[in-house]
Amino acid sequence: MYKLYLKRLLDIVIAFSAFILLLPIFIVVAILIATKTKGSVFFKQKRPGLNGEIFSVLKFKTMTDECDANGKPLPDEERITKVGQFIRSTSLDEIPQLLNVIKGDMSLVGPRPLLTKYLPLYNENQARRHNVKPGITGWAQVNGRNSISWEKKFELDVWYVDNLSFILDLKVLFKTFLKVVKRDGINSDTSVSMETFTGSKD
């Protein structure tokens, strides 16, 4: 019952209320980004959602579009702006995803939507993370976020799928709030963001 109906109701009520509450911050962040980067203040990218169906995830832009002589984007650590670093460290870049939740592409809680190129790299068990809608936050995010390995992250994602409940979602939302306040687990140990997943060794 919760998975089929009440979870969606919870998503709509909380996401809509949060967006209205955060609208002043949304506007301020958009203005700050516009003064530091060219083009749109939003970052859009195709990501796989429920059952692997593709949708466009929306985030605030935290990097420039600078490329090398061959047209390849420079490394993340060279493109991220000071404003972008602050926005990431406070998780403000995730605010636009509330619109993804309201639209129905995402849930407040669920496995994070990753790159489409990872789809063929999952093993059978890891692919089960797509049996639910992706979330703004998830069980993996409150248990290590970018500081844990891909294999551990997928293990936590699948555990969430198997144990999804109203109480678990409330627990994840509460822990997420604490993580954001502490700015905990934003980056991996070796990169400004998570390293590329190339498939599990096993």
pLDDT digits (tens, 9 = 90+) for 79-126: 888 888 999 888 899 999 999 999 999 999 999 999 999 999 999 999
Question: What does the DSSP 8-state code read for residue 197?
Answer: P
pTM: 0.87
pLDDT band at 188 (very low <50, low <70, confident <90, very high): very low
Place of tokens 């579009």: 65
Decide if 123 contacts 116 (C-beta within 8 A): no
The lowest-confidence range among 111-125, 161-175, 176-190 is 176-190
Average pLDDT, the chain: 89
Q: Which residues contact 191 (CB under 8 A, 6 or more apart)?
A: 76, 77
Q: What single letter denotes the amino acid at residue 94?
A: E
Percentage of the residues of the chain whose pLDDT score is greater than 90: 64
Q: Would you tell me how many other CB atoms lie within 10 Å of the CB of residue 62? A: 23
Q: What is the pLDDT of residues 2-33, one digit of tens each?
A: 887 899 999 999 999 999 999 999 999 999 99
Q: Would you call 157 exposed, middle or buried from its count of C-beta atoms within 10 A (0-12, 13-18, 19+)?
A: buried
Residue count of the chain, please give it: 202
| Whole-angstrom distance, CA of residue 29 vs CA of residue 83 | 9
Residue 178 above 70 pLDDT? yes
Give yes or no for a contact between 37 and 61, defined as CB atoms under 8 angstroms apart.
yes
Coil vs helix vs strand at 96: coil
Q: pLDDT confidence of 185, banded at 50, 70, 90?
A: low
Mean predicted confidence (pLDDT) in 51-78: 87
